Structure 1
């Protein structure tokens, strides 16, 4: 990497400090991108530019989002790709409403619970690598479902930029190079142990001729993925689920002893679903219902509706204490109720209701952290590593899209000659009999990836998301409160120091030990706040990493002008025109 640091060493670099901004919040890294014709915010600058180019060619926000997702699947394989799943919330200006798409794939029909249990006994859990956690990749069908309903340009035009980059190459960016090397290092022992049944295809696809992960600035090419994208451009979604690609995946899985079959791929379809919302101080915040974790953010916001955070203050211990306690309550419900609704429908309306929030809020002590937390009983109210991107166009269409291979780069398995890795999303099943999220053939696992959207008085005002496993609903709440309660701009809200609470029960059998868990905070958190949180009983750790990756677009409902923001913790950018 080129450096102008002169004779300075690492110790000297650690003592250097950022400069001062003459406007806005002092901690902001940059101004928001403001444009009126169209904007895109993704985790890679080249993918953002691809989206803008598609808009300039006459495409709409759906076309541009698909094009950007195809590009970033190539450029950021550490977090996403067409071997994974996709979820979308979009605003359609013609019908003036939000739409939701669940593009999650199901577990193989030929892998029974008993067979999975036998493997779990060997590995101690559903393993993160190899064929066992592989479920049907849903992304490609999600693209074509979006395109069929809302798209404008031909898919051949939409996929052309990603094809060119895959064939000709692109320079790898800093953060992605870091995660690329880390993921490949983690794969090595799993391949040696036999957990990952076949690893040579991954080496051939993602490592250099020297056997290393590509370094920052190094040109990376993926001609196999270029050919796969060409098949999609000419043959549509059927090429993936019923044609040559499906046959290749089937042959590969049979060769390595995996369970996924052609019939699993052929049976897959995405599902259009209705997003759900709560009103937070006059703004309707929209998430997708389970099997995703989006309503955890809504439960937290509904709980926080009972407090005036503008009075308790920005980044104060009292405000953060209330937010963390709301998270702890919501996450116990998340562990108990969130699962594939085809198998175990969650009581969504009750969980996000104001009445239920009143019950849960009563458990919070404003002067001390709760010693233990259990899930609630919403039935008493009833009668019976990921990438995020967002694009908006001149007509007012806004797309909030999140897509992932789940843990790291995925399963470590690259089917012969296809140029992409299969996801390991199936690791998020429970193996506890009777649990709503228990593993079953043909079932969708609990999902962490969640897009979000905000409207006000029936008008779209923001599409946004924040990557990072269980950090996502916590991050959504931090963005919303920073903007609505404390008046931060769309970029400032993303740049502010974040917190992340770990230690709650999980939908994957991990149960809270009954303790407080650990509250992680970034180094930008005021020292006084950290000490006061500890005095309230929280186990606070100041560290770096694990706080997600954010993109957002804010729309002025009066003028239609867009403000776009991108995560300073990653390589991305927002671009407009």
Structure 2
């Protein structure tokens, strides 16, 4: 690989992007492959349920564009809907604190994700490789797993009560699938060196690779997401996903 540099938090993601460049892909191809892999290796910090932005600078094509794919509140949200539940603000100023932590974890805390739409927008307009091709490394990694790193374990286990926020470990206990993924059989958090494999994510990424971004926003995945939110009192609906 020549004349290329990749900067990201996890080595597997950097390697996925580098492999794309070695195969002749451009920077956009590499960035999207890297992003999908980052979502597998460090899912609490990145992933298809998240959001972001991308700055594209391709002088040879006359492209200098900012792509914003931020998460959006549900169409059913109203400005005053949680005003009576406001407890204050966290000490670090990062978050507003609501009764029961409902804005921090659980189905009510989720906005309509933008990452899949953003990745698709950038790759289809400015990339050179196939959508399924750039997702493939992330699928393989999700199946084989990744070792828990010191920083990952620190983030999961830190005590955030001093700031008034909900501890990450308590968020990870929210669902049975999350507990089985991040905790040992004895109920303790996985430790540095333990394997974090996510076959459910691999299956979802495989479906996404075949069905494209529309599957996530208007197809079967959208239906499943909306049904899960409806069953658990969440706000995200098929209309929210389709309108993104």
Structure 2 counterpart of 1:95, from 56, 61, 70: 61
SS for the counterpart of 2:203 is: helix
> Which whole-Å CA distance do the structure 2 matches of 1:190 and 1:241 have between them?
25
SS for the counterpart of 1:98 is: strand
Structure 1 counterpart of 2:167, from 175, 186, 195: 186
Q: Deviations over 1:312-346 (max 9, x none)?
A: xxxxxxxxxxxxxxxxxxxxxxxxxxxxxxxxxxx
Q: Structure 1 residue 59: deviation in Å? A: 1.4
Larger radius of gyration: 1
> Which whole-Å CA distance do the structure 1 matches of 2:118 and 2:105 have between them?
24
- What's the counterpart of residue 22 of structure 2? 56
Structure 1 counterpart of 2:108, from 98, 120, 132: 132
> Which whole-Å CA distance do the structure 1 matches of 2:27 and 2:240 have between them?
31
| TM-score using structure 1 length | 0.37
Q: Deviations over 1:418-456 (max 9, x none)?
A: xxxxxxxxxxxxxxxxxxxxxxxxxxxxxxxxxxxxxxx
Structure 1 residue 212 corresponds to structure 2 residue 198: no
Contact 2:108-2:234 within 8 A present in 1 as well: yes
- What's the counterpart of residue 232 of structure 1? 208
SS for the counterpart of 2:48 is: coil
* Equivalent residue runs for 1:101-250 within 5 Å: 101-120=67-86, 123=99, 127-182=103-158, 186-187=167-168, 198-250=174-226
Segments of 5+ residues of structure 1 without an aligned counterpart are 1-34, 193-197, 269-577
Q: Deviations over 1:180-213 (max 9, x none)?
A: 3338981455699xxxxx5223213333333333
Q: Structure 1 residue 253: deviation in Å? A: 0.8
> Which whole-Å CA distance do the structure 1 matches of 2:76 and 2:153 have between them?
37
Q: Structure 1 residue 239: deviation in Å? A: 1.0
Which is bigger in relative contact order (C-alpha 8 A, separation at least 6)?
1
* Equivalent residue runs for 1:149-548 within 5 Å: 149-182=125-158, 186-187=167-168, 198-268=174-244
Q: Structure 1 residue 174: deviation in Å? A: 2.0
Q: C-alpha root-mean-square deviation of aligned residues, in Å?
A: 2.5
SS for the counterpart of 1:258 is: coil
SS for the counterpart of 2:113 is: coil
| TM-score using structure 2 length | 0.84
Bigger helix fraction = 2
> Which whole-Å CA distance do the structure 2 matches of 1:175 and 1:74 have between them?
15
Contact 1:120-1:127 within 8 A present in 2 as well: no
> Which whole-Å CA distance do the structure 2 matches of 1:191 and 1:215 have between them?
14
- What's the counterpart of residue 2 of structure 2? 36
Contact 2:17-2:34 within 8 A present in 1 as well: yes
> Which whole-Å CA distance do the structure 2 matches of 1:209 and 1:57 have between them?
41
Q: 1:238 to 1:162 in 2, by over 3 A?
A: same
SS for the counterpart of 2:108 is: coil
SS for the counterpart of 2:64 is: strand
Q: How many residues align?
A: 229
